[in-house]
Amino acid sequence: MPAERETLARLRDVLARELETISIYERHSAEEPDPEMKALFQHLADEEKEHVTEVYEALLLRDAAQKEWATTGAHAQALRENRFVASAPKVGEAPASASTPAANAAPAASTPAANAAPAAPAPSPTRAAGADRPALTVGSLIGAPALHSR
């Protein structure tokens, strides 16, 4: 349905703008010498965070695939289990070795992280640096399969 897709596009556009605005307000707050104005900028940033939550909830109600990823996707599980590490490869660098925590991490089932049995990591594609290398995504960093290709 085109109208539903347009609504989803509008929600994502609003979400992007709200996130951008949070960054602007927080930067202003960090740079502001006047304590009263500093507090005002932080208050505005906090208001935008509330908007982000409202818009995201509306998005989850209208996009079943987004809700699925938010609740059961491998990336969501990795976030819950604190498996993202600061040593993620940068563009043009080789992927982390198999001995790093990120490379050994595998998405757990619906059990809590403490009860999850270790599993072999999903194979992640590695290609030489160059134009044919796919863009990095949260899923690709943890070895999750791509849902679609662009």
Distance, CA of 108 to CA of 15 (rounded, Å):
29
**Spatial distance between the Cα atoms of 95 and 129, rounded to a whole number of angstroms:** 11
- Banded pLDDT at 82 (limits 50, 70, 90): confident
Q: What tens digit of pLDDT does each residue of 35-68 get? A: 999 999 999 999 999 999 999 999 999 999 999 8
pLDDT for 148 beyond 70: no
Amino acid (one-letter) located at 113: A
User: Whole-model pTM?
Assistant: 0.52
pLDDT (mean) for 67-90: 77
The type of residue at 143 is G
Query: 109: left (phi > 0), else alpha (psi -120 to 50), else beta?
Result: beta
CB atoms within 10 A of CB 25: 20
Which three-class secondary structure string do you get for 94-120?
A: CCCCCCCHHHHCCCCCCCCHHHCCCCC
Rg (CA), the chain: 19
